[in-house]
Amino acid sequence: MKSIFVRILVWISLLFVVSSFAFVATSYYLFRRDSPGNNFMRRVLDSQMDDLRTAWETGGAAALRPEIARLDARFPGRHALLDASGKDLLTGEQREISAVEQGPTPFRWPFGRPASRAAMTHRSEDRRYAMYVTSTVPRFDAPNYLPYYLPIVFVFVLGIYVLAHYIGRPLRQLRETVGRFGSGDLEARTGLKRRDEFGDVARSFDDMAERIQTLLTAERRLLQDISHELRSPLARLSVAVELARTSADRGASLDRIKKEAQRISMLVGELIEMTRAEGDPAERKSAAVDLKELLEDLLDDLLIEADEKGIHLVRDLQGQMVLQGDAELLRRAIENVLRNAIRYSPAEEEVTVRLVREGDEALVVVRDLGPGVPEEMREKIFRPFFRVEDDRARRSGGVGLGLAIAQRAVHLHHGQISARNADLGLEVTIRVPLQS
**148 has pLDDT over 90:** no
DSSP H or E stretch at residue 6: helix 4-34
303 with 250, same domain: the answer is no
DSSP H or E stretch at residue 409: helix 402-412
Note whether residue 385 is domain-resident: yes
99 with 234, same domain: the answer is no
Q: Burial of 401 by CB count in 10 Å (0-12 exposed, 13-18 middle, 19+ buried)?
A: buried
246 with 347, same domain: the answer is no
What span, in angstroms and rounded, lies between the C-alpha atoms of 186 and 181?
5
Number of folded domains that form the chain? 3
What span, in angstroms and rounded, lies between the C-alpha atoms of 140 and 119?
9
Determine the Cα angle at 241 with ends 236 and 243, to 5°: 95
Among candidate residues 336, 345, 351, 417, the one with its CA nearest the CA of residue 378 = 417
Mean pLDDT throughout 409-423?
A: 88
pLDDT grade, residue 351 (50/70/90)? very high
Mean pLDDT throughout 152-157?
A: 78
Q: What are the C-alpha distances in Å from 50 to residues 41, 42, 54, 139? A: 14, 12, 6, 22
List, for residues 260-278, the tens digit of each pLDDT value: 787 777 767 766 766 665 5
What integer pLDDT is reported at residue 38 of this predicted model? 55
For the ranges 145-159, 243-257, 316-330, the maximum mean pLDDT occurs at 316-330
What integer pLDDT is reported at residue 427 of this predicted model? 92
List, for residues 31-41, the tens digit of each pLDDT value: 666 544 456 77
Task: Decide which of 98, 117, 144 is a domain's last residue.
Answer: 144
78 with 111, same domain: the answer is yes
Note whether residue 292 is domain-resident: yes
Task: Decide which of 144, 164, 195 is a domain's last residue.
Answer: 144
CB atoms within 10 A of CB 127: 10
- Lowest mean pLDDT segment, chosen from 20-34, 116-130, 289-303, 312-326: 20-34
What integer pLDDT is reported at residue 353 of this predicted model? 94
Determine the Cα angle at 181 with ends 175 and 183, to 5°: 105
What integer pLDDT is reported at residue 234 of this predicted model? 75
Note whether residue 116 is domain-resident: yes
106 with 217, same domain: the answer is no
What integer pLDDT is reported at residue 98 of this predicted model? 57
**CATH code of the domain containing 63:** 3.30.450
**420 has pLDDT over 60:** yes
Note whether residue 123 is domain-resident: yes
**396 has pLDDT over 90:** no
Mean pLDDT throughout 160-170?
A: 78
245 with 380, same domain: the answer is no
Mean pLDDT throughout 351-360?
A: 92
What integer pLDDT is reported at residue 428 of this predicted model? 93
| Full-model pTM | 0.46
Contact (CB, 8 A) for 38 and 103: yes
In this predicted model, which residue has the larger pLDDT, 45 or 284?
A: 45
48 with 122, same domain: the answer is yes
Indicate the SS3 state at residue 324.
strand
- Lowest mean pLDDT segment, chosen from 45-54, 132-141, 188-197: 132-141
DSSP H or E stretch at residue 114: none
Contact (CB, 8 A) for 428 and 417: yes
Note whether residue 423 is domain-resident: yes
- Report the mean per-residue pLDDT for the chain: 77
264 with 294, same domain: the answer is no
pLDDT grade, residue 430 (50/70/90)? very high
Note whether residue 215 is domain-resident: yes
Note whether residue 114 is domain-resident: yes
The distance from CA 162 to its chain's CA centroid, rounded to whole angstroms, is 18
What span, in angstroms and rounded, lies between the C-alpha atoms of 424 and 349?
11
419 with 289, same domain: the answer is yes
What span, in angstroms and rounded, lies between the C-alpha atoms of 118 and 74?
17
- Lowest mean pLDDT segment, chosen from 26-35, 59-68, 178-187: 26-35
Give the range of the structural domain holding residue 381, as residue numbers without chain letter. 285-433
List, for residues 305-333, the tens digit of each pLDDT value: 888 888 999 999 988 899 988 888 888 88
Task: Decide which of 144, 160, 186 is a domain's last residue.
Answer: 144
428 with 289, same domain: the answer is yes
What integer pLDDT is reported at residue 429 of this predicted model? 94
**135 has pLDDT over 80:** no
Contact (CB, 8 A) for 391 and 330: no
Note whether residue 181 is domain-resident: no
pLDDT grade, residue 436 (50/70/90)? low
Contact (CB, 8 A) for 270 and 336: no
What integer pLDDT is reported at residue 308 of this predicted model? 85
Residues in contact with 398: Cβ distance below 8 Å, sequence separation at least 6, in sequence order: 340, 343, 387
Q: Burial of 400 by CB count in 10 Å (0-12 exposed, 13-18 middle, 19+ buried)?
A: buried
138 with 51, same domain: the answer is yes
What integer pLDDT is reported at residue 1 of this predicted model? 41
247 with 299, same domain: the answer is no
Q: Are β-strands 350-358 and 312-317 bridged in parallel, bridged antiparallel, or unpaired?
A: parallel
Q: What are the C-alpha distances in Å from 87 to residues 78, 83, 220, 404, 418? A: 16, 5, 107, 115, 116
Q: Are β-strands 118-123 and 416-421 bridged in parallel, bridged antiparallel, or unpaired?
A: unpaired
